[in-house]
Chain A
């Protein structure tokens, strides 16, 4: 069975600083990988996804993520954080043929200091 680990429960960065949120997955084959963001009182919104091809994927709101098979990682990055990026971020994995059964990590709460 697949699993996802997000090692950082909370991260605080200053506005304008760069950001990297870590995600490690466990899955035997090539996974489908996702990053979602959840703001208070709102549902999850897809930031980006990796299915195949170029290992560096671009998403919305200036986010990008890099798939590294050798490290089983899919870290999320942003070069310059805005105060509105404060939210909870979830990494998720799905297996081939599994449809919309996503396995989520426990999330990383991002706080942005002005």
Chain B
């Protein structure tokens, strides 16, 4: 059984650029959530995708967007990067059956983004 994998593991961008982060969910999982973890902080919920649609969003501006593909993999896109976007971006997958009860989240190791 393959776990959650994320790419790239590290990347450096400059202010104003755009970035795409990728996530392959664990086999059998149909829901993907994205979290931002700034240095010294706990993860903050960005959004989640279920059945290829955004299904819940945290307090992040529209320049944070995402996709979920038919194979349940996902992308996180961030436009017009700001210095404060520097963080570890975590993807988590889970298997949702029926109602939106929180599932057990399986996290990837994250993509560390540095914005200069």
| A contact set with B: CB distance below 8 Å | 4, 32, 34, 36, 41-46, 49, 51, 90, 92, 94, 97-107
Within 28-81 of B, Cβ neighbours of A (below 8 Å) are at 31, 33, 40-45, 48, 50, 55-56, 58
- List 10 additional contacts besides A97-B100, A102-B43; criterion CB under 8 Å: A42-B109, A99-B48, A99-B50, A99-B55, A99-B102, A100-B31, A100-B56, A101-B48, A102-B105, A106-B40
CA distance A76 to B110 in the complex (A): 25
Q: Enumerate chain B residues within 8 angstroms of A49, measured Cβ to Cβ.
A: 102, 104
Interface 1/0 per residue, B84-116 and A, CB below 8 Å? 000000101010100111111111111000000
Q: Which residue of A lies closest to B46 (CB)?
A: A101
Interface residue? B4 (CB, 8 A): yes
Q: Are the CB atoms of A99 and B100 closer together than 8 Å?
A: yes
- Count residues on chain B whose CB falls below 8 Å from chain A CBs: 30
Q: Are the CB atoms of A41 and B109 closer together than 8 Å?
A: yes
Q: Are the CB atoms of B4 and A43 closer together than 8 Å?
A: yes
Q: Are the CB atoms of A44 and B90 closer together than 8 Å?
A: yes
Q: Enumerate chain A residues within 8 angstroms of B109, measured Cβ to Cβ.
A: 41-43
Q: Enumerate chain B residues within 8 angstroms of A97, measured Cβ to Cβ.
A: 99-100
Q: Are the CB atoms of B108 and A43 closer together than 8 Å?
A: yes
CA distance A32 to B105 in the complex (A): 13
CA distance A103 to B42 in the complex (A): 9
Q: Enumerate chain A residues within 8 angstroms of B56, measured Cβ to Cβ.
A: 98-101
Tell me the minimal C-beta distance from B3 to chain A in angstroms: 9
CA distance A92 to B45 in the complex (A): 11
If A44-B107, A99-B50, A100-B31 touch, does A90 touch B43 (CB 8 Å cutoff)? yes
Q: Enumerate chain B residues within 8 angstroms of A106, measured Cβ to Cβ.
A: 40-42
Name, among B56, B100, B105, B110, the residue most crowded by chain A CB atoms within 10 Å (CB to CB).
Answer: B105
Q: Which residue of A lies closest to B42 (CB)?
A: A104
Q: Which residue of A lies closest to B58 (CB)?
A: A101
Tell me the minimal C-beta distance from B40 to chain A in angstroms: 7
Q: Are the CB atoms of A104 and B102 closer together than 8 Å?
A: no
- Give 6 A-B contacts (CB < 8 Å), ordered by A residue: A51-B101, A90-B42, A98-B100, A100-B31, A100-B33, A100-B102
